[in-house]
Amino acid sequence: MNARAATTAPRGRPRLAAWRRQHAWCLRDSLHQLARRPFGTALTIVVMGLALSLPLAFYLLLANVQHLSGALGESQSVSVFLKPSITMDTAESLAQDLRARADVAEVTIRTPRQGLAELAAVQGFGEALHALPANPLPYVLLVQPRKGLDRAQAGAMVQALRALPQVDLVQDDGQWRARLDALIALGRRATLLLAVLLGAAAVLVIGNTVRLDIRTRADEIAVQQLVGASASFVRRPYLYEGVWYGLAAGIVAVLLVLLLEAVLAAPVRELVASYAGRLQFGGLPSTALLLTPLCAAALGWLGAWLASTRHLLRPSP
Amino acid sequence: MIRFDSVSKRYPGGREALSNLSFRVETGEMAFVTGHSGAGKTTLLKLIALIERPTGGAIEVGGQNLARVKRGGVARLRRGIGMVFQDHRLLMDRSVADNVALPLVIAGMPREERARRVRAALDKVGLGGRGGDAPAALSAGEQQRVGIARAIAGRPALIIADEPTGNLDPQLAEEIMRLFVGLREAGTTILIASHDLPLLKRMKQRAIVLDHGRLIDDVPASEVA
Ligand SMILES: Nc1ncnc2c1ncn2[C@@H]1O[C@H](COP(=O)(O)OP(=O)(O)OP(=O)(O)O)[C@@H](O)[C@H]1O
Ligand SMILES: [Mg+2]
């Protein structure tokens, strides 16, 4: 059509303005459509919000466990408890021998007196210790392995320490740290997997919701097409719909995790206090708070895009 | 503006709805398509708006060969045509004003101008002040006029109307026809399907007469008695 038709698309800048106005209309229309069935919309959003909050909660948990384990000491040091009969001289010469080993970086001696003082500093122990007739603690050598030892080498070192005749007990702090680190790494993978699965679920749920919406509004779509709506115009409100669903679900997920944080804050603070304030409960970083709704919105868009591609863009005659 | 060249249309599984149809409607002309029920009037209009494709022959609209109009072009073609549907095709869950505004929204028209045009179109069909109503709250004839308002609101160069006065009393029907005549005088090309012969006679416009999908008569305006 040409002639003086006022409805044909204008060129250049006015065309851009027209495009913007179409978007504004579709945006408002999509919100309007969601608001027409508030219960269904809210239900979908809350269910998806719950699903999306799961990986966030796991993430929060892991971050704090990691934080905790970090605060409990970066040390990989091995505590070597000597036999009670060992004297200061023997302890020192043994320490000297150990320092000569290639796999040892540093050896510190902790005397029974130091050990007792340390114990006394821990709340509640002071009184009990005063009641002891003599210091029951042995000399302890804190052996710091050389940096960069692998698991097998560290194990060999611990074995060698255990075999020494002067040694009563070897406590390998590094080992439980290594185990914890492995657990945390496993947890991270599981969380990532969970996030991917639930993200895919969100795409499918939104896609299905949009598909149903397209079906119930088939008559409206037909009329729009009859009066000249392009495929992209017809599709746009549904894409917006997907984005709103995702965005709202992401915000719900973040709010749920913030609620979880608030609920956990008090007991965690007590736990932290028992560690003499060296620990702090870490909340979700603000980037995660911001990124979650944005990613969820992107997932919603994807779901709506898939649904509208499949169910809307049928070839016209 | 419109040119049919030996056009045939056979619906899948059906008999031929239009056979070997040839005629022209010039730019700025007004013509009626008439004939008994089932003669092929609706089919003819649908071919112009590419709601259906012909199974034979060629159609040109606004100088454009419709056979060459691909998917994206269909919407563009329809945006240049104001169409009134036999079954109204209103959005029942939107207000009357929103229905009339739809083609203007699709064209990306600014809000204020949209509102102005919607009001003007509703005034023209005698529904001024009913913009906020739901179509369901309107009589069949009023709904039909909403459909007419929607078709004229965008001031298209071509209007095709399918039984636009089917639900109207004779006086209102004539008023609506006068509205179309006024638009034609302003340069719009208009094609109206109608089987209301007395009304056609009073309007004194060209009549393309169909019978079982065949063109049996093409009466120029001057000869309508
Ligand atoms: N979608 C369809 N599928 C099959 N046959 C159809 C279809 N639409 C119309 N027909 C047939 O094509 C013929 C012409 O139909 P059409 O709707 O064009 O008639 P009409 O002149 O508009 O009739 P009316 O005055 O009753 O509206 C009829 O025989 C009808 O049965
Ligand atoms: Mg018909």
On chain B, the residues whose CB falls within 8 A of the CB of A7 are 79-80, 103-104, 106-107, 109, 154-156
Q: What is the pLDDT of residues A167-199, one digit of tens each?
A: 888 887 777 777 777 888 898 899 899 989 999
From the number of C-beta atoms within 10 Å of its C-beta (0-12, 13-18, 19+), residue B97 rates as buried
Yes or no: is domain B2-219 CATH 3.40.50.300? yes
Report the alpha-carbon distance of residue B161 to residue B159 in Å, rounded: 6
Ligand 1 pocket test, pick from B10, B36, B41, B215 with the greatest ligand atom count within 8 Å of Cβ, gives B41
A51 and A106 inside one domain: no
The share of chain A scoring above pLDDT 70, in percent, equals: 86
Whether ligand 1 lies within 6 angstroms of the CB of B37 is answered as yes
Nearest CA to ligand 1 atom 29: B38
Whether residue A69 is predicted with pLDDT greater than 80 in this model: the reply is no
Instruction: Determine the pLDDT at residue A49.
Output: 94
In terms of domains, do A269 and A184 share one?
yes
Q: What does the alpha-carbon distance between residue A301 and residue A287 come to, in Å, rounded to a whole number? A: 21
ipTM of the complex: 0.92
Residue A86 maps to which CATH number?
Answer: 3.30.70.3040
pTM of the model: 0.79
Round to whole Å and give the CA distance between A262 and B121: 58
Q: Which residue's CA is the closest to the ligand 1 atom numbered 18?
A: B40
pLDDT digits (tens, 9 = 90+) for B134-147: 999 999 989 999 99
**Residue-wise pLDDT tens digits, A13-60:** 677 888 888 888 989 889 988 888 899 999 999 999 999 999 988 888
Q: Are A192 and A263 part of one and the same domain?
A: yes
What integer pLDDT is reported at residue A317 of this predicted model?
41
Q: For chain A, what is the domain count?
A: 2
Q: Of A146, A172, A198, which closes a domain?
A: A172
pLDDT at A279: 57
Q: What is the mean pLDDT of residues B167-186?
A: 90
- What integer pLDDT is reported at residue A253 of this predicted model? 95
- Work out the pLDDT band at B74, boundaries 50, 70, 90: very high
* Atom nearest to B43 CA in ligand 1: 18
Query: Each residue of B34-73: pLDDT tens digit?
Result: 999 999 999 999 999 999 999 999 999 999 999 999 888 9
Query: In chain B, what percentage of residues exceed pLDDT 70?
Result: 100
Q: Both tokens of residue A112? A: 């029974």
- B12, B16, B20, B26 alpha-carbon torsion, rounded to 10°: -80
A4 has pLDDT over 90: no
Question: Same structural domain for residues A183 and A299?
Answer: yes
Q: By residue range, what is the domain housing residue A142?
A: 76-172
Q: Which residue has the higher pLDDT, B10 or A144?
A: B10
- Which residue from B minimizes the CA distance to A234? B106
What pLDDT does residue A281 have? Answer: 64
Whether residue A110 lies inside any domain: the answer is yes
pLDDT of residue B132: 94
Q: Which residue has the higher pLDDT, B102 or B221?
A: B102
Distances (CA, A) of A219 to A8, A222, A226, B90, B92: 24, 5, 11, 9, 10
